[in-house]
Amino acid sequence: MCDTCGCLSPSETGHHHHHHDHKHTHEHKQIAIGESVMARNDEYAEKNRAHFAEKRLFVINLISSPGSGKTAVLEVLARHFGSRMAVIEGDIQTSRDADRVTAAGSAAHQIETQGACHLDAHSVGHALAHLDLETVKLIIIENVGNLVCPSTYDLGENEKMAILSLPEGDDKVLKYPALFHRVKTLLINKMDLSPYLQFDVDRAEAECRSLNPEVQSFRVSATTGVGMDALFAYLEDRIGE
């Protein structure tokens, strides 16, 4: 169960039973259930982390709103990294994003959450069994499009990366602090639209640094390729460690 919105995690869908007659459920019981779910997720996250470390994989949990350009960015990365990168895709339904990444040159496995608004560590661990990691150095987990629920779930990653696109507006960082104070890197995407939109990039970056002084920011356009060389260099450095 998501401790933010109460939705089921991917590992719990299909095991949700409604008890409409128990209207006397106390708040402390609901909190205890949420804590239990998070504790179980953290156990799986530690197993994932140990597995990633053993395989010397650098893993990114990529989080953003729907339509921010996550998959478009991944297509550009796939063309650069090829077989050195693999992607775990999270969507409520369809394998469209995984198909796009595969066509661009990197292996991908799709997780369909069937309604859950985020990925959990258990489902990510199962997805690894479907990927050939022999040549892989970088794994990117494209989380379900959502700025709230995915931010609190540890998947065993090395870092969280957020994408904020210009059409979303420059006021989102402080509206969604749970995500932006956790991210190691921030991508400001769709910079090609800057002549047409009133988006203060300096403001968005400054507000993110007010929550997380160590955050690294990249101004990019997946469409034109602007700023992608700097992102390539950053990721090459990470997988070279």
Q: Token digits for 74?
A: 């991944």
Mean pLDDT of 146-170: 96
User: Residue 172 in 3-state DSSP?
Assistant: helix
Q: Which range is least confidently modeled, 4-8, 74-78, 127-131?
A: 4-8
Q: What is the mean pLDDT of residues 225-233?
A: 98
Q: Is the pLDDT of residue 137 over 90?
A: yes
Domain assignment present for residue 149? The answer is: yes
Domain range for 59 is: 27-239
**Residue 188 pLDDT > 80:** yes
Total number of domains constituting the chain? 1
Kindly state whether residue 3 falls inside one of the protein's structural domains.
no
Give 93: exposed, middle or buried? Use CB within 10 Å, 0-12, 13-18, 19+: exposed
Global pTM reads 0.86
CA proximity to 166, closest of 184, 192, 146: 192
Q: Is residue 84 part of a domain?
A: yes
37 located within any domain: yes
**pLDDT for the residue 19:** 40
* CATH number of 103's domain: 3.40.50.300
Where would I find the beta strands (DSSP E) of the chain?
58-64, 85-91, 107-112, 138-142, 159-165, 185-189, 216-219
Q: What is the pLDDT of residue 79?
A: 98
Determine, yes or no, domain membership for 18.
Answer: no
Please tell me the distance from the alpha carbon of residue 1 to that of residue 43, in angstroms, as a whole number: 15
Answer yes or no: is 214 within a domain.
Answer: yes
Domain for residue 8, yes or no? no
Over residues 108-127, the pLDDT tens digits come to: 999 998 878 899 999 999 99
- Residue 41 domain-assigned? yes
Q: Residue 101 above 50 pLDDT?
A: yes
pLDDT computed for residue 14 by the predictor: 47
- Rounded Cα distance between 184 and 234, Å, is 12
pLDDT for 54-86, tens place per residue?
999 999 999 999 999 999 999 999 999 999 999
- Report CA 177 to chain centroid distance, whole Å: 15
pLDDT of residue 220: 98
What pLDDT band is residue 146 in, cutting at 50, 70 and 90?
Answer: very high
Least confident of 32-36, 140-144, 146-150, 202-206: 32-36
**In this predicted structure, what is the pLDDT of residue 164?**
98
